[in-house]
Every structure is written in structure tokens, then in C-alpha cells.
Amino acid sequence: MKKPDDNPYVEPPIRAEFDGTDEITEDEAREQIELLREAVEYHDYRYYVENDPVVADKTYDALYDRLEKVEDEFGLVDQSSPTRRVGGAPLDELESREHVVEMLSLDSSEEEDEVRAFDERVRETVGEVDYHVEPKFDGLSVELVYDDGVLEAAVTRGDGVVGDEVTANLRTVRSVPLRLREAPERLVVRGEVLMPKDGFQELNRRRVERGDEPFANPRNAAAGTVRQLDPSVVADRPLDVYAYDIMETTAEVGSQSEAVGLLEELGFLVDEESRLVDGIGGFVEYRDELLGRRDELGYEIDGVVAKVESFDARERLGSTATHPRWAFAYKFPAKTDETRVAGIAVQVGRTGKLTPVVLLEPVDVDGVTISRASLHNEKQARELGVSEGARVEVERAGDVIPQVKEVIEDGDGSFRMPESCPACGSEVVQEDEHHYCTGGVGCPAQLQGRLEHYASRDAADIEGMGEEVVATLVDEGLVSELPHLYDLTVDDLRALKGFGGKSARKLVEEIEESKEVSLASFLTGLGIRHVGKERAARLADSMDLDGLREADANDLRRVEDVGPEVAETVAGFFEGRGGTVVEELLERGVEPESKETGGSDVLEGQSFVFTGSVEGYTRRELTDELERHGANVTSSVSSATDYLVVGENAGDTKLKDAQEHGVEKLDEKEFREDVLETL
């Protein structure tokens, strides 16, 4: 993208001969398309980035419509065209993708002393420095990857190493350039997805008018939108992406100021509040200034960030395992107000933990109505003195999460955690400072989390059973207990939003394949408290499923790494509702098999990914067989993958990722001959 002053497309390139398409050649069409794309991109930049349009809407629409018509009639469409921003076909699920450069978090504090201590550590290592400062956006971090100036991938931060690929969604955001003019060969940008305050209010107004629940705050709205499976939904919501860091590039960039200047020159949306200051004193002054003006900004922020200006100095400072040593976030204090406690309810979480929820008389805190706030546990409620009738000061921690800060006037002091689960009636037990429902997979309040856990990679490994799919199954009443998962039909799924015939059949097939599962994976998936992957493997090595179902606590204590508390928990699980759930799973054909012997380390250190099906095997069988001989089998392709096994009906995404990462591909014949037959 050329800078505005250099761009010749202030006036649209519409000539008389552009009126029709019958009289032009394909070469002329290509020329028109190139001119029209540059014009539309330029006017998008002026409108969505500069907020300074230079043509009327009618003129812009004429440019856009002409471009779309010529592209369609000559079949000259590609993903970098601005006409592709309307959104593509819905996805079955978001694919995981490894970041080009690890996306670390920032060290932070609300205390000025800690900010100055950060500066002292910097100066002890590299001497006096200048800081480049900027707002700390309250949104969703993303990585944008450009090859030869074309947007190739957009990935959420995730765990910092791997995130969700949301390229199709961010193509619809007008402030994200699809093509960069005179760009470096390689450019990886870090940015923040935000929903502007005015766009958020308008979106909520539309949702209320339609009868939908409004979003709680702009951050939640932005994060939820970016992870949509249907790009057309994203295209219809007001999002911006602010670029603030260059993570990798072939361009010559030696400082943060140069990086921000290059981003602006290339057409990215950069924040006008960022600037260079003199030392830590300038940073503290900047923080105080922005704290006083944050309500005037068009987007939410929860602090400010200082970054060492010089990239050479950053190199010398380095990073810890979690954050760079050359940057620090100075957080704003939470916003507060007062109200009265109307009551305290108890919510059962996905892991069975009971959490007190304070029901408040609604109070407005900086434009957000707060009517509830969560406490960590009963101990915190007692220490704060929170009970029905109390007058309390509430705050929005991080400007988002409502919390009770302190009690100003005592209530009736009546709150106690219940002795039985409010959702399923099972016994409630206390462990340390927390209370837990013992109902396990039989507790409906835990159902969604349990289903996600059961379907995860270390458990039944049901591909396609992500958070959104599980939530839909539960919300629509198709799955009210774990065993009901195996009653689902293709017709059940096809009736749900987001499912077609192909995706419905695929999920049903995946569920059917999961019936053949190792005992260790099955035990992991049941979500028994204290029984993770490693402990489940030890239990499976010690006895079969029938033995586990009949074992008492004394029997279980003989297993390695199973102490008295764990033994009681496992025995209680099978004696209670958990035992009934296991029986119902077995009745539906689930066959947990004890661990096979005779494995080897012949595949030690080798990583495999499967796409498509291999005749005669389920995905679970192949995974178990390869892992039994030392291999690592993962669900997504990355630079750490050694082989992609390509079976029948292989997916395009994994094939593309394999090509990008230089991963060797094995067809079914090669896989059988070179791998399976050698085991």
C-alpha cells in the first residue's frame, strides 16, 4: 500500500471503455483489475485506516462493483483481492498453527516502584535507553504473516507457541491489508484485534433488537468474533486490527520507531498515541496522561507499554521463558463503584469446582452494567465478609472482570457452601480451600467441559468436537449425558447451524471410531478427579476395566503414584454415578482395551500427522500402534512434523501446511510398506 500522498488514485480510474466487458480482451481485463484493485485498496485505506475518505460512497461503490464484475466474468479472482473480504465458506473447525516467532506475554504491574525496577534492570545491562511507548490494547493478539507482500496467514496468540488460524476471518477486516505495495519479501506482524467502542454499542443495539443476548464488553465481542467458523459473520461485525510489532522481516529495521514507521508506510493501522519518550520518567508521565484520557479514546485499553527503542539493546537484554526483558506494561487501576449484594448463588464449573457468585443490585461501572461478580471460594467470601444485604465496592479487574473489592457495610453473614451439588445432588467435598461436586461425568453442570475433555487428543480423540460444536450439542439438548454422544445421527447434526451433510457424516464417523480406545485414554477422558494422563496410564497398566470397577481403595493404593486420597476418589467414582456412566458407555459399544505389550522404540523421535483415512484402520488404531513404537502423533502439521500420511479423502489444509513446512508426505502404499510393515 502506497502512502496516501504518493497514491495516484484520488480520482477513480473509470473510463468510457470500462462500461462493458464484451469488447475487452483478457489482457485488458487484467490491466483494469490491477488498476481497480489499487483504487479500492487505496480508498479502503483512506476510510478505514486514515478515517479521511476522499470520494463519495457512490463513487467507491462504482469502483468496487466494476472490479467484482470483471473478476467474475474473466475468472481472474484471487484471495488478495479486496472483493474477497466478504467472507468465504464456513469452516468445520479452526485449525491450529504454529507461530513463526513465539508470541510472549508482557511482564506487568500497577505499581510505579516495579516499573522503575524494570528500568534499573535494563540500564544495568545496556546503559541509558529511550523507550517507545504505546497503549496496552484490551483485545486479542494475532500474528499476521506476509510473503511477497500478500497476506498468507493470520493466527491468534493461543499459548504463545500455537494458535488458531483465523486467516479467512481476518481477510474480512478492512484495516488488514491483503496486499502490501513495495513490501519486504517476508514480514511477520503482531497486532491486536479490537472492537471500537461505538461499533460495540451499535452491535449490541442490533443484537438486542433481534432478541439476542448483548456482549458483555468489546474485548469479549472481538475475541468471540475472531473465532467464528463462518467468515461472513466476521465481515458483518465492526473490527479493527492495530499493528504494533514487527516480529520478523527481510527489511532493514533497527528500532521500534523505524518498525512503526514501516508498518504505517505499508498501509497498516497503527496507533497515533504511540511515541518515543526520554527514559522511565517519560514513560510514567505518559501513563498518567493516558490514564486521564482513556475514556476519550475510541477503544478500550487497560494500561500502557514501554519498549526499549533500540533493537540492538533488545538483543542484548533477551527474554525469559515467558516474557521479553526489554518491555514492560504499566497497568491501570481497576474501575470501581458501590452497590448492594442481593444474594449469593453457587455455580458448578466444568471441573466440578463450586464457585460462589455474588448477585448484585445492578451498578454502572464506567458505562458497563455489573449485576454479578465471582469469588474464588468460601474462604474469600468469609474474609471479605460478603453475604446477602452487604454493601460492597466492586471493580472491573483489567477493566473487564467484575470483582468484589471490599465490604463497606456488613450483611446477614449467612453464606455457607452447600453440602450437595446444586446441579446434580451429589455430595460436595472440600479439598484445601475449594469445594467440589463428586458427580463427575454424571453432573449436567459439568457436561460441556467433560465432553470437550472426553473428545480431546489424550482421551477419545474425536476430531471435530471442539468447544463450539460441544456447546451447540448441549444447548440443543442432543447430548445431556456423556453416553448420549454415541446416540447422535447424521440427521441430528445436519439440522444444526454450521453443519452440512459432509461435516455431519465426518463427525459421526469420528465418534464411531472412538469406540475403540485404549483403557488409559478412556480413563483420562472420564475426567476422574486427580486422574490425568500419566496416572490413567499407571492404572491401566495395573488392571483391566473390570478390575478397576470392582477395586476398593485398598486395592487401588497398590498402584504406583496412587495415594489414599486418589484411591478414595477413584473408588468413589466407580461406586457412584460415574460407574453408571461407564456402564452406559459400554452398552453403546465403547470398548476400552488394556495396553498392548511388545512395543519398541523403532519410531522414537519421529512425528506423524494423518489426513484422510487408511483402509482397514481407524485413526485411533493407527495412533496407538505408532505411539506403541515410540512415535509422536499430532493433529496438526508444524515444522516439527516429520511425515504427513495422506489417505483417502485427504484435507487440503494439512497438505498445504506440509508443503509450506517442507514435511515429507507418505501416501497409503508408502505408509504401509515403509512404516507399518516394519513394526
Q: Which helix (H) or strand (E) holds 210?
A: helix 197-210
Three-state DSSP class for residue 378: helix
**What angle, rounded to 10 degrees, do the helices at 519-526 and 447-454 form?**
160
Q: Catalytic residue, from 136, 331, 335, 506: name it.
A: 136
Count Cβ atoms below 10 Å from residue 376 Cβ, excluding itself: 13
Residues forming beta bridges with residue 53, ordered by sequence position = none
Among 304, 305, 241, CA closest to 270: 241
Under DSSP, the state recorded for 613 is B
Q: Which three cell numbers stand for residue 131?
A: 523507550
396 phi, psi to nearest 5 deg: -105, 95
Pairing, β 643-646 against β 664-667? parallel
Burial (0-12, 13-18, 19+ Cβ within 10 Å), 568 = middle
Catalytic site includes residue 136: yes
Angle at 347 between CA 344 and CA 349, to 5 degrees: 155
DSSP letter for each residue of 509-565:
HHHHHTTEEEHHHHHHHHT-TT--HHHHHHHHHH--HHHHHH--HHHHTTSTT--HH
Exposed (0-12), middle (13-18) or buried (19+): which is 186, by Cβ within 10 Å?
middle
Q: Are the beta carbons of 522 and 483 closer than 8 angstroms?
A: no
CA atoms of 131 and 666, how far apart (whole Å): 51
CB contact at 8 A, 343 and 323: no
From residue 218, alpha-carbon distances to 102, 190, 221 in Å are: 26, 20, 5
Q: At what angle do helices 564-575 and 577-587 cross, to 10 degrees?
A: 60
Contact by Cβ (8 Å): 311, 253: yes
Rg (CA), the chain: 28
Distances (CA, A) of 81 to 41, 87, 179: 9, 12, 8
3-state SS, 285-304, equals HHHHHHHHHHHHCCCCEEEE
225/233 Cα distance (integer angstroms):
8
What single-letter DSSP state applies at residue 640? T
Burial class (CB in 10 A: 0-12, 13-18, 19+), 17: exposed
Apex CA 10: angle with CA 9 and CA 14, to 5°?
65
Cβ contacts of 165 within 8 Å, gap of 6 or more: 94, 95, 96, 97, 153, 154, 155
Beta bridge partners of 429: 436
**Total residues found in the chain within this entry:** 679
* Nearest CA-CA partner of 93 in 486, 472, 644, 643: 472
Cell numbers at 612, concatenated: 484422510
DSSP conformation class of 618? -
Strand ranges of the sheet holding 108-109, from the earlier edge strand across to the other edge? 108-109, 327-331, 301-308, 131-137, 275-277
Residue 393: strand, helix, or coil: strand
| Residue keyed to cell 471500537 | 196
Active-site positions?
136
